[in-house]
Structure 1
Amino acid sequence: MSLNSFYNCTLVTFRPNYLDGRVASVTIPIRNLFYLLSYVWDVDWEMEWSAINADKSGDALNLLTKILTISTDRIIRRGLDRGYKDVSEEMFGVRGRIDMANTIKRNGFANARLTCNFEELDYSVLHNQIIKTTLVNLSHANGLDKGLREEVLDLTHRLKAIEPIELSQNVFSKVRFHSNIRNYRLPVAVSKLIYDQLMPSRETGKYQFVNFTEEKLHAIFEKFVFKYYEKHLNQTIYIGIKSDTVSWQDTYFEEGIDDFLPVMKTDVSLFNNESKLVVECKFYESALQSRRINGKELRETFISNHLYQLFAYLKNLEIKNNKVISGLILYPENGKKISSVYSMHGHKVSIKTINLDSSPQEINDAMLACLTPFRSMAIN
């Protein structure tokens, strides 16, 4: 596969939002996908984009592989991290602590070979192993550009001292970053995303990169919104950001088999001393729904369930917090710009779309503009 311009490459996700079952799509240019991911991964998108080379790259597989090869090469040049590894070995003489049980079991005292337990600096620490294993898997991936495959194989050879491992969700969760390995954040994050999308192929020993699912893109969109507002908090009226866990206020379980009320959790909650804004992120192909009755299409409306969900958050937070509570629902824009503001039972509610097919600067400006209706919110 030849590498095409980022600007011409898109990711497509499908969702039957319409009640009559029609299906449409949301497209995100690869360049903008990387812009979203740069916030999720907490990296300088402009610097990384320049390193990737804006004029060359292709689909998601080749984009992610390119990011991984560049960030891994940097780490190797700066010096791979090492950690102490427990080693048990038979030897002449003593090193570390003598393992008496195994020495006796192996008749070590008779032949002067003692079993010793000691620690040894080793490159096969977890974060190195994740990167090495991901590169090995990528070398067998269908659809990888020939030049990139050669880079992957070269890096695999340069990491020959590192033992590969079997990857799993649990393995990634065990990585603990600290100041000495902060440069590993990007390659490990990319490795995790590649692991999620790389599936065994019908060909023995081969892998197939699958398209991002709606759930994956939704998660990326939601994390982007959180990280974006967190990073640019000083450009807003808010002083803090979190994800609120909201309990049902003035609600008591009286009788029945058990209490099955769901826990409510906001995607993003921006707050200051006087107000709170609940932001809900919905990665749907449209912010609108419509229905057909006897073959006739009725007027489009906003998606009811999304408004009901947000309203439940607002009313319960209103009781819990002595603040002005407002709401914002964000959708990706798909050919139809939406920008509506309402006053609902004393709560200001805005429904907006963000055009993920526009330039990163335009996305940046639109994200800040979404907060404009709430600048004057204060307790009366």
Structure 2
Amino acid sequence: MKIPIRNLFYLLSYVWDVEWEMEWASIDANKSGDALNLLARILTISTDRVIRRGLDRGYKEVSEELFGIRGRIDISSTIKRNGFAKARLTCAYEELDHSVLHNQIIKTTLERLVHADGLDNQLREEVLDLTHRLKAIKPIDLDANIFSKVRFHSNIRGYRLPISVCRLIYDQLMPNESTGRYEFVNITDEKLFRIFERFIFNFYRKHLNQTIYTNIKKERLGWQETNFEGGIEDFLPTMETDVSLFNSTSKLVIECKFYESAIQAKSVGNLNIKGSFISTHLYQLFAYLKNLEIKDKSILSGLLIYPENGEKVDATYNMQGHKVSIKTINLDLSPQEINNEMLACLSIFKDVAA
């Protein structure tokens, strides 16, 4: 299952919590070709913007031998270097430096992109130019945990987009030991599913005021009226909704599924015959509704959302008093049309949520 390149950034903008409307025209995703060049284009544009606005700086401790005194004297280091006899004191002081973590992540990612196979030549020149403009920043060793150490606040809110792009590039850019270059591996279906799931949640959170719901959350559920009575160990799994939308009277549980089709096929001999909706997905959603029913006095409804893959699905049922809908979203449409489809998914629940 694939997400069209021109709309990949649209989905990612919700995952990363950036304004896609502001970025759309400048990025021109239609000309990006593939995921590597799309991400590189986003990174070059957003990094250039950060540089023009002024790179962030932070205080870093410097240790230096001086004839005078600056900051505090490091007595032990001065003694080890026989500094008192030479009249040279080892001093530790703080100095403003551009080599703060978020700048270092961008600089190191750009250096890797320069050596990435498949990068458009013009983009490579732009990436190389940015590394020269960031020459005062020291690169660092990147690892999967370093990105979570960046703490965004109002002074560096412009860094959110380039740092988010750097994280995805880090995940997908693999070193080739034989050539010394980097290869961009395709984004896996599992990662695309996570992108799709986060998009659904953040879309409804951002557009909550355009719905009949007032709150949104992921909801952890236990198995209601269930007690462990014996055996080796209790292995019942914890349940967690992808999205729970609710107001004072009703709740909608949404499950996001990134599958080739919402319908599972049945094989009869050499023939593949359309079968039914994927049973495990319906069972999962229904289990959430039935367990919520015991402790939640709201009117409960359910929604399964799939990406559309050549066949539109739009079905609604009443299941033991719960309205349940199964719908597909066409990710090949324009961003505004996807917006409209996402909001239209909720329209059938207006009567139960009133």
TM-score range, shorter chain: over 0.9
Match of 1:339 in 2: 314
Q: Does 1:82 align with 2:57?
A: yes
**Are 1:279 and 1:328, in contact at CA under 8 Å, matched by a contact in 2?**
yes
Match of 2:107 in 1: 132
Offset at residue 203 of structure 1 (A):
3.7
Distance 1:29 1:297, change over 3 A: closer
**Are 1:134 and 1:191, in contact at CA under 8 Å, matched by a contact in 2?**
yes
Match of 1:16 in 2: none
Distance 1:378 1:45, change over 3 A: closer
CA distance in 2, matches of 1:55, 1:315: 45
Distance 1:113 1:231, change over 3 A: same
More helix by share: 2
Structure 1: runs of 5+ lacking an equivalent: 1-25
Match of 2:333 in 1: 358
CA distance in 2, matches of 1:69, 1:297: 47
After TM superposition, the structure 1 = structure 2 runs for residues 122-271 of structure 1, keeping only pairs within 5 Å, are: 122-271=97-246
Offset at residue 67 of structure 1 (A):
0.6
**Are 2:251 and 2:353, in contact at CA under 8 Å, matched by a contact in 1?**
no
Distance 1:297 1:149, change over 3 A: closer
Match of 1:277 in 2: 252
CA distance in 2, matches of 1:249, 1:333: 34
CA distance in 2, matches of 1:346, 1:90: 78
Match of 2:286 in 1: 311
Match of 1:329 among 285, 304, 312: 304
Secondary structure of 2:216's counterpart equals strand
CA distance in 1, matches of 2:94, 2:107: 22
TM-score under structure 1 normalisation?
Answer: 0.90
CA distance in 2, matches of 1:361, 1:225: 15
Offset at residue 199 of structure 1 (A):
0.6
Q: Does 1:120 align with 2:101?
A: no
Q: Deviations over 1:119-164 (max 9, x none)?
A: 1111111110110010000001000011110110110011011111
Structure 2: runs of 5+ lacking an equivalent: none
Match of 1:44 among 10, 19, 22: 19
Letter in 1 for 2:65: E
Offset at residue 296 of structure 1 (A):
4.7
Identity, % of aligned pairs?
71
Secondary structure of 2:95's counterpart equals strand
Match of 1:7 in 2: none
Offset at residue 298 of structure 1 (A):
4.4
TM-score under structure 2 normalisation?
Answer: 0.97
CA distance in 2, matches of 1:151, 1:296: 52
Offset at residue 55 of structure 1 (A):
5.7
Offset at residue 378 of structure 1 (A):
4.5
**Are 1:27 and 1:357, in contact at CA under 8 Å, matched by a contact in 2?**
no
Secondary structure of 2:324's counterpart equals strand
Aligned residues: 354
CA distance in 1, matches of 2:274, 2:32: 42
Task: Give me the CA root mean square deviation.
Answer: 1.4
Secondary structure of 1:286's counterpart equals coil
